Amino acid sequence: MVETVENAATERPLWLKIWQFPLVAMIVAIVLILLMTALVQLFSEVVLNDALGEPGSMIATVVLLVAALTSIYKVAIRRLGRKKRDDLPLPPMLRDTGLGFAGGAVLISLCVGLAALFGVYRIQGGDNFTDWPTIVFLFGVYAGFFEELLMRGIVLRWLEEMTGTWIALAISSLLFGFGHAWNDNATVVSSTAIAIEAGILLGAAYILTRSLWLAIGLHAGWNVVQALWDVPVSGNPTVGPVAATLEGPDLLAGGGFGLEATVFALIVATSAGVWMLVLAARRRRIVRPMWSRRGADITPS
């Protein structure tokens, strides 16, 4: 007789059930990520800052952090929980990250185009691009990799195993959006907008592909190209290759936070996210809550 998943679960010892429970796995993974990040930051402060100065130390820190987090993920985090899964598979890395970067660039450029069409975005001329290390490495590589690994690769992943796709997507999106509440020029509107547009877009990319690379590329492409258009990145202004202004009603110009707090981003990014969720549903990538699976596999094929 073939043993069912449900029967096998009853034979697991209590300590193993607790250790493999999704919330426990999520907390352990978060602790590992934060510890590794703290170690890299400490090394940067003690060694890299004096040795390399700025911006060299920042670039080296970001590269080292990505390598360290990838290592701890491959060695430990992907083995946590009952369902083992690697959300950083190597074969689709270049393809999906590149596709995501291009997609993010197109989406934010559409928002810039709409803002220009409505008269709230104007290019004043060229600029000296002095913030290129921040734009490329901090807003691109760091934000794209670290935030996606944390929010989609850990929080969304294990919440989904427990609550199912839709509840997990809602919770992780809210956490992501209001995690930006302490940024410069942030408001309740801007945090809510990021929760909706970016939470759905990036969460959908993960749900559709069951990999982090597309989401990482989308996040990085959106941030980098946004800065290249001289639009504040989540409230953080930068000096890029062009000088531009955003002036007008807050819902159109973002009120100092940038286009992420506007109706343009809400429409463009959310529409792309909903489209990917529809594709994910059609491809049976949606996970049911653990209380309704009745022994079925945790993740869809």
Residue type, 177: G
DSSP letters along 183-215, please? STT--HHHHHHHHHHHHHHHHHHHHHHSSSHHH
* Residues whose CB is less than 8 angstroms from the CB of residue 39 and which lie 6 or more positions away in sequence, other chains included: 68
Mean residue pLDDT across the chain: 93
Look up residue 264 and give its two tokens: 């343009």
pLDDT of residue 299: 55
Judged by DSSP in three states, 82 sits in coil
Residue 236 DSSP code? B
- Confidence bin at 53 (pLDDT 50/70/90): confident
Q: What is the rounded distance in angstroms from the CA atom of residue 209 to the CA atom of residue 202?
A: 11
Structure token digits, residue 54: 């700025």
Whole-structure pTM value: 0.93
Average pLDDT over residues 57-82: 97
Decide: 73 and 149 in contact? Cβ < 8 Å: yes
How large is the average pLDDT for residues 19-24?
Answer: 95
User: ω before 55 within 30° of 0 (cis)?
Assistant: yes
Q: What is the mean pLDDT of residues 113-125?
A: 97
Contact indicator for 224, 140 with CB cutoff of 8 Å: yes
Average pLDDT estimate for 179-200: 96
pLDDT tens digits for range 241-291: 999 999 999 999 999 999 999 999 999 999 999 999 999 999 999 999 988
| Of 209, 222, 192, residue with least CA distance to 277 | 209
Backbone angles phi, psi at 4, to 5 degrees: -80, 160
Percent of the chain clearing pLDDT 70 (strictly above):
94
For residue 6, the model assigns a pLDDT of 44
Look at residue 222 and give its three-state secondary structure: helix
Going by C-alpha positions, the residue among 4, 16, 19, 293 that lies closest to residue 160 is 293
